Amino acid sequence: MLVISIATAITAITLVVLTAFTIPVLLELKKAAISVRTVSETFNTQLKPLIEEMYQTVADIHELTSAVAANAEGVGLLAGELGQAGENIRMINRIASGITGLVSGSSLWLTGAKVAGRFIMDRISKKRG
């Protein structure tokens, strides 16, 4: 009977010590659970507006990308038109060069005709005189 009494006493002491250590652990677990709940609620309230802002940002980026794509088409069209204008300017330059050559040639022709005319007039004047 003594052994049973000692075993019962040891079991009782063990339960008291275990309870003494378990209670503070449970209290800390309760505080941790409350903190986790508070953080979770804070995240839920702050993440919803953040997610909505992210969706809005993605929509704005999509709109901006569409606008850039539309402008890229306009830039391509402008580049094509500038190329066509360059071709027209080259053609005008060729025509102007041709006209300049013609005018300079006719200018030489007129100068030659004037000199020939004066020469003939001088000859006629000398023959008469």
pLDDT (tens, 9 = 90+) of the chain, 129 residues, equals 788 889 899 999 998 888 888 888 888 888 888 888 888 888 778 878 888 888 898 888 888 888 887 777 777 788 888 888 888 888 887 877 777 776 666 666 667 777 777 777 777 777 775
Burial of 75 (0-12, 13-18, 19+ CB in 10 A): exposed
Quickly list H helices, 1-129: 2-128
Tokens linked to 21:
């250590």
Distance CA 68, CA 61 (A): 10
- The radius of gyration of the chain from alpha carbons, rounded to an integer in Å, stands at 53
- Cα–chain center distance at 36: 41
Tokens linked to 80:
């094509």
pTM of the model: 0.39
